[in-house]
A and B are shown apart, each in its own frame.
Chain A
Amino acid sequence: MSNGEKITLTINDKQVEGTEGDTILDICRANNIYVPTLCYLEGFSNVGACRLCVVEIEGERRINPACTYPARNGLVVRTKTDALEKYRRLILELIFTERNHFCFFCEVSGDCELQALAYEYQVDHMRYPYNFPSLPVDTLNKFLVIDHNRCILCGRCVRVCGEGVANHTLDFGKRGWRTLVVADINQSIGESSCINCGACAQACPTGAIFSKISAYRGRTSEGKVVRSVCSQCGVGCPIDVLVKDNNIVRIDGTDLREPEGQLCAQGRFRQVYREGTRITTPLIHTRARGLQPSSWENALKLVGEKIKEYKGRYGTRSIAGLASSRCSNETLNGFAGLMRQIVGTSKVDTLDGECYRVLTKGISSFSKNGLGLEVESTLENILKADCVLVVGSNPLESHPVAGSYVLKARHQNNAQLIVIDSRANTFGFRADFRLRPKPGSEEVLFNALAKAVTRRAANVGKPHRNGSLAKTAETTGLDRAVIRQVIDKLSVAEKPVLIYGEGVINQKNTRIIARLLDLANVAGKDGLNVISLKPRGNSRGAWDLGIASQKEVSKGKLVYMLLGDDEVDTDYWIDQLNQAEFVIIQASYHSPLIECADVVLPSPIWAEQQGSYVSLDGVKSQSKRILKPLRGIRSDSEIITRVAKKL
């Protein structure tokens, strides 16, 4: 469309410049000429649904929407005339009377773009009778409400769902004035393919789609927006947190247009308000009454005494420090320093240390030159891929925004999606090829695929050799024809990306990882494009800092666990901690795991302290302190310093 040629036109008697391919609205916005809009959403396709951006163009018989009218050299345009203002008010009145746009019980009143325009145009009454339709309100989704009565059919939600998140759940259903935004084949949004990313709620100009979690917590004008980073998973999305009266009102993605401006249910909704009871004072276990509140001084004294006692009696080897990779770099560094330098133990590990060891061993046995996680590529590369191989992972569940990158690659590059998992994996339903090899046969499969792709590269288009892959098909229980198709796709792909996750890592078999990387290596025409989905928000940070142990850490008699606000596999860790004699846990929330502790030190949550985090692909970002900590809560670093003083 655009050949980049400069064009000149006259808008409101002023000469302005633009580029061929721009719409009139693009040029108005670039030149600070205000044109009211409702359906327009920067960075997304223009649909001309609301008609508020109508302008007068000389030579045109009628007024035209600026958002869909391609600018031409020499056009004479007027954006603000009495007639246009009259039409705009008329359009607003038609929108207001079409459905239910009564503001007094609407969640977004005060933040509503339709309301703001009505104020601007001084719409103090309607010249049309109201329609009062009785449309459904869909509340079945865990986080979102769709109130069709408040919908103006601008289609912003449909466009962000399709063009932005590439999930294509929302679309228009029915016709004419009966048109509704529908999910999938007119299902409830709660029963649809919706991934609860909430982008539609962020894009909605009215109260038609809103968050249950943030509803009635406050308006944008009443709070302050803090830009920070989400530490829930390793994607590390930037977040805009709206805070009012030391409460989180809402979390938004920073830019709907950009892939990194997206969020997921965890980032947008769950961390606004988490169920569970905060630990607000230190607790000490007594045999008679279990965990009882104590003063900071007593708890820290006991911690100091016990560490000294075990060190004196059994040596430093009896003491182990375990930290969650959800904690920030600073907290982890402080903790490792305390345990390694001051306590003097070498038994320091992260709770996901096992993953670290499996991954790094797998990678080094592939590369054979001592390389580790630095061979991995960036999440951005997924967006450039023409073939995505996802192994042992449902990224939409574990790292949803990364999953959305995959969908986006499919949407914009028409990338082939191959999902291989020996477990049931619903991500496979979105794939072109879904392979479920027999558990334990992955190594054989990846080995065979790697070899076949190498051979195939020279013979693309020719038929497969008779009888080839028969053994592989038998061992893996897969259809030979499907394996052959996958080989063909991997052979022709220019920019394949391999993504693998917990389904591979948790098998603790370094050879599978090495074979997978072999496969990615032979398939990649311009180098290796591999991304491992690491389990925790700051796993990469913790591992890069050397907090995770190179060797497996044997059990300690005294264990100091830094948990923070992480949620871990409780049963597994209760088993582990029950084998220790004395347990110190630093955590934010009560849980059955806390009951194993002899001393509990209350930890702040993510929003109550600042720190730096490293995303799974190695990008470091700084989080801010968003909330004043609850009474009695001290920062993790302060707790660690005070423990050190007792030693």
Chain B
Amino acid sequence: MGKVRLATTWLDACAGCHMSFLDIDEAIIEVAKAVEFTRSPITDIKEFAEVDVGLITGAIGTFEHEEEAKELREKCKILIVLGDCACFGGIPSMRNAFSKDEVLRRAYIESESTKDGRIPSSPEIPALLEKALPVTEVVKVDCFVPGCPPRSDAILYALKELLQGRIPVLPREMMRFD
């Protein structure tokens, strides 16, 4: 059997989920034997290749996130999301109680440390969506590993299940929302 091809990306997130991924410690060697990492935050490859498993951390906060999620969904057979942001919206969704304009004004103009602030308008910067959304509201997701960040043993469990050809459902004792 050839290696399982995996692509990961982090969208509206803090990197904590990828850190927790690395916290599986020496098990990463076993994972690396079975998995070929294509695109990930450390490979700096821009395009997604066709892969078996796509992995997303982070919520959908901008048009770029939305596009990336859709692209990865198209290129992968199974899509797994890690962390509260990707599963539920998480920290980025704290802004959802306010309008996008209020959020931008607060961050770039009204914040106490800002003087003569401007809301960035460069077309190179991806525009915010009106709300930060869980991935499942944009594309179909096959497997969810919640947690902020998810326990590393939960991530490992999910990967092992996938390698065994099963769609993982996290056992109760590995469930956590914080």
Residues of A bordering B, CB below 8 Å: 96, 100, 102-106, 109-110, 115, 118-120, 122, 124-126, 129-130, 132-134, 149
A178 to chain B, nearest CB (A): 15
Interface assignment of B94: CB less than 8 Å from any CB of chain A: yes
From A118, A130, A133, A134, give the contact of B177 (CB < 8 A).
Answer: A118
Interface assignment of B178: CB less than 8 Å from any CB of chain A: yes
Q: Enumerate chain B residues within 8 angstroms of A119, measured Cβ to Cβ.
A: 172, 175-177
Residues of B bordering A, CB below 8 Å: 81, 84, 87-91, 93-94, 96-98, 131, 134, 136-137, 141, 144-146, 148, 169-172, 175-178
B93/A102 in contact, CB under 8 A: yes
B90/A104 in contact, CB under 8 A: yes
- How far does the alpha carbon of A110 sit from the alpha carbon of B178 in the complex, in Å? 8
- How far does the alpha carbon of A145 sit from the alpha carbon of B151 in the complex, in Å? 30
Q: 10 closest A-B pairs (Cβ-Cβ)?
A: A103-B177, A124-B144, A119-B175, A132-B96, A104-B148, A134-B97, A109-B178, A103-B178, A125-B144, A104-B178
- What would 20 more interface pairs be, CB under 8 Å, given A100-B97, A125-B144? A96-B88, A102-B90, A103-B178, A104-B91, A104-B148, A106-B178, A109-B177, A110-B178, A125-B81, A125-B88, A125-B136, A125-B141, A125-B146, A126-B88, A126-B136, A130-B89, A130-B96, A132-B93, A134-B98, A149-B97
Q: Enumerate chain B residues within 8 angstroms of A110, measured Cβ to Cβ.
A: 178
B168 to chain A, nearest CB (A): 10
A124/B136 in contact, CB under 8 A: no
B172 to chain A, nearest CB (A): 6
With A100-B97, A134-B97 known as contacts, the answer to whether A129 contacts B172 (CB < 8 A) is no
With A115-B177, A125-B87 known as contacts, the answer to whether A103 contacts B148 (CB < 8 A) is yes
B97/A118 in contact, CB under 8 A: no
B51 to chain A, nearest CB (A): 22
- How far does the alpha carbon of A215 sit from the alpha carbon of B149 in the complex, in Å? 22
A473 to chain B, nearest CB (A): 60
A to B CB contacts below 8 Å, 16 in the list: A96-B88, A102-B84, A103-B148, A104-B90, A104-B91, A104-B148, A104-B177, A104-B178, A105-B91, A115-B177, A122-B172, A124-B87, A125-B144, A126-B136, A130-B88, A133-B97
A120/B172 in contact, CB under 8 A: yes
Q: Which residue of A lies closest to B144 (CB)?
A: A124
From B88, B98, B137, B169, give the contact of A102 (CB < 8 A).
Answer: B88
- How far does the alpha carbon of A115 sit from the alpha carbon of B96 in the complex, in Å? 21
Q: Enumerate chain A residues within 8 angstroms of B98, measured Cβ to Cβ.
A: 134
From A96, A106, A124, A133, give the contact of B169 (CB < 8 A).
Answer: A124
- How far does the alpha carbon of A102 sit from the alpha carbon of B178 in the complex, in Å? 8
A122/B177 in contact, CB under 8 A: no
With A109-B178, A125-B88 known as contacts, the answer to whether A132 contacts B134 (CB < 8 A) is no
Q: Enumerate chain B residues within 8 angstroms of A132, measured Cβ to Cβ.
A: 93, 96-97, 131
Interface centre among B88, B93, B136, B177 (most CB of A within 10 A): B177
B108 to chain A, nearest CB (A): 21
Interface centre among A96, A100, A102, A115 (most CB of B within 10 A): A102
From B134, B171, B176, B178, give the contact of A125 (CB < 8 A).
Answer: B134
- How far does the alpha carbon of A120 sit from the alpha carbon of B84 in the complex, in Å? 17
- How far does the alpha carbon of A104 sit from the alpha carbon of B137 in the complex, in Å? 21
Q: Enumerate chain B residues within 8 angstroms of A109, measured Cβ to Cβ.
A: 177-178
Q: Enumerate chain B residues within 8 angstroms of A120, measured Cβ to Cβ.
A: 172
- How far does the alpha carbon of A132 sit from the alpha carbon of B97 in the complex, in Å? 5
Q: Which residue of B lies closest to A133 (CB)?
A: B97
Q: Enumerate chain A residues within 8 angstroms of B87, measured Cβ to Cβ.
A: 124-125
Q: Enumerate chain B residues within 8 angstroms of A126, measured Cβ to Cβ.
A: 88, 134, 136
Q: Which residue of A lies closest to B87 (CB)?
A: A125
Q: Enumerate chain B residues within 8 angstroms of A104, measured Cβ to Cβ.
A: 84, 90-91, 148, 177-178
- How far does the alpha carbon of A127 sit from the alpha carbon of B126 in the complex, in Å? 27
Q: Enumerate chain B residues within 8 angstroms of A96, measured Cβ to Cβ.
A: 88
- How far does the alpha carbon of A100 sit from the alpha carbon of B175 in the complex, in Å? 19
- How far does the alpha carbon of A129 sit from the alpha carbon of B97 in the complex, in Å? 14
Interface centre among A122, A124, A130 (most CB of B within 10 A): A124
Q: Which residue of A lies closest to B172 (CB)?
A: A119
- How far does the alpha carbon of A100 sit from the alpha carbon of B90 in the complex, in Å? 10
- How far does the alpha carbon of A80 sit from the alpha carbon of B165 in the complex, in Å? 30
A122/B170 in contact, CB under 8 A: yes
A627 to chain B, nearest CB (A): 28
B49 to chain A, nearest CB (A): 27
Q: Which residue of A lies closest to B98 (CB)?
A: A134
Q: Which residue of B lies closest to A132 (CB)?
A: B96
- How far does the alpha carbon of A129 sit from the alpha carbon of B96 in the complex, in Å? 12
A102/B136 in contact, CB under 8 A: no
Q: Enumerate chain A residues within 8 angstroms of B175, measured Cβ to Cβ.
A: 118-119, 122, 124
Q: Enumerate chain A residues within 8 angstroms of B148, measured Cβ to Cβ.
A: 103-104
- How far does the alpha carbon of A152 sit from the alpha carbon of B131 in the complex, in Å? 23
